[in-house]
Amino acid sequence: MHLKHLVALAIFAEILDCPAQGQVKLKPGDRIVALGDSITQAGGYLRFMKKVLDRNYPDLKVEILNAGISGHKSTDMSARLKKDVIDRQPTVVTISCGVNDVWHGFHDPPQGVDLETYTSLMNKMVDDVKAATSAEVYLLTPTIIKEDLLSPENVKLEAYCEAVRRIAAGKNCHLVDLNEFFNLSLRAAQSGGAPDFHPTSDGVHMKPAGDFLMGAAILRAMGVPMTAILKETLPAAPQFSAADPLFQYWGRWDMREAGSTGAVTVNTGSTLILKFKGKGATLHFSTQHYPLQLPTLWLQLDNGEWRITHPSEELEASSQPLADGEHTVRMVVKGFREWENRWDPPLANSVVFRGVTLSGGGSLLDPPPRPRLVIEYLGDSITEGVLVLTEGAGDKRPRERWPQFSDGRRTWAYQSALLAEAEPRIAGFGRLGLTINANGGVPPGIYSFPYIYNGAPIDKSRMPDAVVINMGTNDRRAAAEVFGPLYKSYVETIRKEYPNAKIFCLRPFAGAHSEVIRNAVDQLQSAGDKSLYYVDTTGWVDSRSHTTDGTHLNLEGNSLAAEKLAVILKRELIHR
């Protein structure tokens, strides 16, 4: 963790009730139930707490149960208190409530909870817990709403925080004043020359720095010494580095420093597969380089359900201990924040996989056999899987949520490769064209093609059997006499790098420059390139029903395009 992420730790003693060293307020077998909203549901600060407690107080065997549900306010939490908290027989209860009560009041229409109702329900929750259990209650003041500390939301939030402080004092609860700590930490960073310090991704939801601040504050209130907390912020060295030959990588990965820094990718659909024998696996990622928001990942264990997660210094493959045996983990990069730098080092938005640690003396095994074929996909946001998902006609899809709305695993590119019994290798960037730069500082296609990112050449140890090009949509404003020669040169550049690959030039799904592309393919075929194909996608998808915004394919549109393309790929690659 960067030093700036620890800014203002010196003021902890002024903010928190800091017991003397050794006076930990936890007992053997304590069960902590954490009631909260999406910040709690995400679980970052709870995982950090568990890590500190397990490594420093293993004999206590403290259990932490997550009772967070996204979007919940005091009205929701009070209604489910008995089922989600009391019935789980806690010995310690933490209550984190208030952000949504205020934040949702600024929605259109307002859906917040007024201060009087909030105060009454918070009092009732404390009373109900104390009446039904002997649990110690820790009340957390709401953190912040936006990192503009004098925003209307934060100004209104202060009264709700004050209500929590009064309740804690009046009902003999432990107070963890997160609001005060977040405000002072952020203001110290902003005033002290660390403006890039962002504990949240969007003003509300926590990044690793925010989870650390929350978890550390709660642990200090529980009497855990600062030294025990701080030593757990240092990234643990993985048992097996990312350079281990038993890891199987699909996609474009920079492996030049895999044994030290880690394996790096900037593309959705990039995949990691590992097989191991043991009771658990912890995946290690670097997370310090994200200025605002973490990418999203898909994670699958033993061909079970896929779950969405984020890079973490220590990402558990399973939340529960596994049966001692052979297990397979698959990780696929789902979505990025499009506008952060993904081209010129130091990269602000990349996935950096450092390696794996196995529990119980586990060992890595040979991964599953690779598909015989490799298909590389070159294109724009439609290829990348941007805005595959939506939440209805009224959804405005704000930028900070694009990693959630994007999906590199369910894009037409990834799925068509699997249907064609091939390994997908996707290199798509939002806004990319032949006449236009992409988001994240990526140069036009003809210049970006030979690199994973600037200075990192593509790995030629496993050459693609086929290349699928989906370019032209973002060049629709370019004149045909400009775009045509560029497209022809682009294909020639790809052919030079991949002399034996079959190249499939797609008509862009919306039809931009379709005739120009067809003509370029005809010219190159006439010049002798017999492994070059034009794929007419006319009628494959309907912009009204198969897109989320008229341009980006939705899940159904991606599935339809994948199925139609796979037929062509299989015919040309497998059955000949």
Q: pLDDT digits over 415-433, tens only?
A: 999 999 999 999 999 999 9
Mean pLDDT calculated for residue range 526-543? 96
pLDDT at 16: 44
Do 223 and 264 belong to one domain? no
Among all chains, which residue has been given the structure tokens 């598909």? 371
Do 105 and 122 belong to one domain? yes
Residues facing residue 308 across a β-bridge = 298
- Burial (CB count within 10 angstroms: exposed 0-12, middle 13-18, buried 19+), residue 365: middle
Residue-by-residue DSSP string for 360-417 = TT-EEEPPPPPPSEEEEEEESHHHHTTT-----TT----GGGHHHH--SSSSHHHHHH
Q: CATH number of the domain that 350 lies in?
A: 2.60.120.260
Do 197 and 225 belong to one domain? yes
**Per-residue confidence band for 9, with pLDDT thresholds at 50, 70 and 90:** very low
Does the pLDDT at position 540 exceed 80? yes
Mean pLDDT calculated for residue range 76-94? 97
Mean pLDDT calculated for residue range 161-179? 96
Domain of 69 in residue numbering reads as 3-233
Do 437 and 529 belong to one domain? yes
pLDDT at 208: 82
**Parallel/antiparallel/unpaired status of strands 373-379 and 456-457:** unpaired
**Per-residue confidence band for 8, with pLDDT thresholds at 50, 70 and 90:** very low
Identify the CA nearest to 503 among candidates 530, 476, 543, 474. Answer: 530
Mean pLDDT calculated for residue range 74-86? 97
Position with higher pLDDT, 380 vs 575: 380
Mean pLDDT calculated for residue range 512-529? 97
pLDDT at 21: 41
Percent of residues, the chain, with pLDDT higher than 90: 76
Among all chains, which residue has been given the structure tokens 């208190």? 81
Does the pLDDT at position 292 exceed 70? no
pLDDT at 18: 44
Spell out the residues 6+ positions from residue 60 whose beta carbon is closer than 8 angstroms to its own. 26, 27, 28, 29, 30, 53
Mean pLDDT calculated for residue range 553-571? 97
Of the three residues 233, 260, 293, the one that is the final residue of a domain is 233
Of the three residues 216, 233, 250, the one that is the final residue of a domain is 233
Predicted structure pTM score: 0.76
Q: Poorest-confidence range of 60-74, 181-195, 252-266?
A: 181-195
Do 66 and 84 belong to one domain? yes
Do 357 and 267 belong to one domain? yes
pLDDT at 235: 77
Do 394 and 519 belong to one domain? yes
Position with higher pLDDT, 576 vs 181: 181
Does the pLDDT at position 3 exceed 50? no
Position with higher pLDDT, 196 vs 544: 544
Q: Are 2 and 62 in contact (CB under 8 A)?
A: no
Q: CATH number of the domain that 495 lies in?
A: 3.40.50.1110
Do 116 and 9 belong to one domain? yes
Mean pLDDT calculated for residue range 378-388? 95
Quote the number of domains for the chain.
3
Of the three residues 233, 249, 270, the one that is the final residue of a domain is 233
pLDDT at 519: 97
pLDDT at 394: 59
Do 389 and 313 belong to one domain? no
Mean pLDDT calculated for residue range 500-528? 97
**Per-residue confidence band for 400, with pLDDT thresholds at 50, 70 and 90:** low
Do 159 and 202 belong to one domain? yes
Q: pLDDT digits over 202-256, tens only?
A: 888 888 889 999 999 999 999 999 988 988 877 788 999 999 999 999 999 999 9
Mean pLDDT calculated for residue range 295-303? 95
Do 302 and 387 belong to one domain? no
Backbone angles phi, psi at 154, to 5 degrees: -70, -35
Tell me what the pLDDT averaged over the chain comes to. 91
**Per-residue confidence band for 44, with pLDDT thresholds at 50, 70 and 90:** confident
Do 103 and 192 belong to one domain? yes
Does the pLDDT at position 2 exceed 60? no
pLDDT at 22: 53
